[in-house]
Amino acid sequence: MALTKLARIGLCCALVARASSAAAQAIAVDVDQSAGYSTEDVAAAHTKLRAFGEVKPDIRFNVTGVWGRQSEESDAFAAAYPYTDRPVVLDAYVERTFRPSGGLFGLRVGRYRTPFGISSESDQGYVGFQRNPLVRYDDCFALSSTFFEHGADVVVGPPRASLEASVGTPGDVGEHTRAGGVDAVLRAQAVVGSFIVGASVIRTRPHLPHADLESATGFGADAAIDAEQDEGEREPASGTAAFGGIDVRWMRDGVQLRGEYISGRPFDGARTHGGYVDLIVHRAFMGPITAALRAERIASRDAGISVLAGERYTAATRIRLPRGFFAHLGIVHNTATLIERRATAIDAGVSYSVRLE
User: Can you give the binding site for other proteins, defined by CB under 8 A?
Assistant: 28, 30, 32, 52-54, 60, 62, 95, 97, 99, 104, 106, 108, 120, 122-123, 126-127, 155, 158-160, 162, 189, 191, 194, 196, 249, 251-254, 256, 282-284, 287, 290, 320, 324, 326, 351, 353-355
Three-state SS for 6? helix
Q: How far apart are CA 206 and CA 17, in angstroms?
A: 36
The residue among 52 and 141 lying less far from other proteins, judged by its C-beta, is 52
CB of 60 or CB of 136, closer to other proteins: 60
Q: Give whichever of 329 and 339 is closer to other proteins, judged by the CB atom.
A: 329
Minimum separation from the CB atom of position 249 to other proteins (A): 6
Complex with other proteins: residue 71 or 353, whichever CB lies closer: 353
Of residues 315, 306, 319, the one with CA closest to residue 344: 315
Smallest separation, CB 309 to other proteins (Å): 31
> Nearest distance from residue 166's CB to other proteins, in Å?
12
* Residues 79 and 131 sit within 8 Å (Cβ to Cβ): yes
For residues 120 and 113, give the distance between their C-alpha atoms in angstroms, rounded to a whole number. Answer: 7
Closest CA to 236 of 179, 302, 283, 301: 179
Of the pair 29, 339, the CB lying nearest other proteins is at 29
Nearer CB in complex with other proteins: 196/277:
196
CB of residue 352 vs other proteins: minimum separation in angstroms?
9
Coil, helix or strand for 310?
Answer: strand
8 A C-beta contact, residue 79 and residue 129? yes
**DSSP 8-state secondary structure symbol assigned to residue 173:** -
Rounded alpha-carbon distances, angstroms, from residue 298 to 308, 331, 345 = 7, 19, 19
Beta carbon of residue 149, minimum distance to other proteins (angstroms, whole number) = 14
CA dihedral 119, 123, 125, 130 (to 10 degrees): -100
Contact 347, 38 (CB under 8 A): yes
**Strand, helix or coil for residue 171:** coil
DSSP 326: E
Instruction: Please say whether the dihedral angle defined by the alpha carbons of residues 160, 166, 172 and 178, taken in this order, is positive or negative.
Output: positive
Shortest Å distance, C-beta 87 to other proteins: 21
Nearer to other proteins, 8 or 283 (CB): 283
Least Å distance between CB 335 and other proteins? 29
Burial class (CB in 10 A: 0-12, 13-18, 19+), 252: exposed
Report the amino acid identity of residue 253. Answer: D
The residues facing 42 across adjacent strands are 38
Q: Which is nearer to other proteins, 60 or 273 (CB)?
A: 60
Cβ nearer to other proteins, comparing 120 with 240: 120
Q: What's the closest the beta carbon of residue 262 comes to other proteins, in angstroms?
A: 19
Residue 348 CB, nearest distance to other proteins (Å)? 18
Parallel, antiparallel, or unpaired: how do β-strands 59-70 and 88-98 relate? antiparallel
